Amino acid sequence: MVDLFDSIKSQVKTEYPSIVFPEGEDERIVEAAAQLSQDGMLKPIIVGKKEDVLKKADSLGVSLTKAEIFDPKTYERFDELVSAFVKRRKGKESEESAHEKLQDPNYFGTMLVYLDFADGLVSGAAHSTGDTVRPALQIIKTKPGIQKTSGVFIMVKEDKKFVFADCAINISPNAEELAEIAISTAETAKTFEIDPKVAMLSFSTKGSASSLETKKVSEATVTAQKTRPDLVIDGEFQFDAAFVPAVALKKAPDSPLQGEANVFIFPSLESGNLGYKIAQRLGGYDAIGPILQGLNKPVNDLSRGCSTKDVYKLALITAKQAIEEKKTLLVNA
């Protein structure tokens, strides 16, 4: 099987998209941006004071000659960003407040993506998830028909790859929201060449226990199945019934999953966050993400505990999303 990132690299290198990194003084960002540009993967657009960013790069012994560095205070098209932001916010921001807000690197970077001055954005190494997501929701917004964005991790170990959701955004999604997350995650899986087999997880398998929590998952399963009958989605499942064929044969013999699920939808943020970290720390899986889905353009969030390698990989994921978004626009044009 072709390695996930070898496949992504071959596609990204051909298209050479531009990705914004709002945290230009973080050494992990600078190192990853330098490596990405050196490898010819994408064009990094780093937000920060040019002198400080270059000083950081020099101290790390890396080159940013192939990257662009934009400082909101000196950016020549800043007034254009301000005007577009005021228009986008539809009366919620004045020109004065917009000018002030766009000094924030995440707002500034998100506007670059919105105006197609860049293809995607990666932030979160030094900011909270809220700092990354808030500008995206206000400016880029969710796709038509999507009520909420959600966060997934691609879990990778050797030739194995799985998708976990929602592990980043929605604390306690209701049945309708859970169904939407399942469908969005299946589409995300396809983007990364995973044929989605979606398991709706719970502490019950097909009614083995009954509570408000299990009923929510079973209702979400029915809604998702009715909305997208072309997808393989089933539940509610305990993890072993979704993942182990021998257990599935006993607990859910009639399920189309047959213990071969590769997309796992957790019933709450609590369980999703715990689940991916257990797989990462005990199972030895690389956790790539969180990848934000449901937005009109790709914006992704790093963990503040990320490594340079994590930044590099999430940037590639973001670039891949940007390429797929463009393909979709061309098809629908």
Q: Which residues of 93-109 are buried (b: 16+ CB within 10 A; e: fewer)?
A: beeeebbebbebbbbbb
Handedness of CA 274, 275, 280, 283 (dihedral sign): positive
Give the pTM.
0.85
CA neighbours closer than 13 Å in the CB half-sphere of residue 11: 20
**Is 306's pLDDT higher than 90?**
no
Measure the CA–CA gap between 289 and 302, rounded to whole angstroms. Answer: 6
Q: How far is CA 295 from the centre of its chain?
A: 9
Confidence at residue 246, expressed as pLDDT on a 0 to 100 scale? 95
Confidence at residue 234, expressed as pLDDT on a 0 to 100 scale? 94
Confidence at residue 1, expressed as pLDDT on a 0 to 100 scale? 39
Q: What is the mean pLDDT of residues 244-273?
A: 94
**Is 126's pLDDT higher than 90?**
no
Of residues 328 and 161, more confidently modeled: 161
Question: For the chain, how long is the longest CA-to-CA vector?
Answer: 65
Q: What is the mean pLDDT of residues 285-290?
A: 86
Within 8 A by CB and 6+ apart from 78, the residues are 72, 102
62-118 residue pLDDT tens: 999 989 999 999 999 999 999 999 999 988 889 999 999 999 999 999 999 999 999
**Can you list the domains of the chain with their CATH numbers?**
1-141+296-333 (3.40.50.10950), 144-294 (3.40.50.10750)
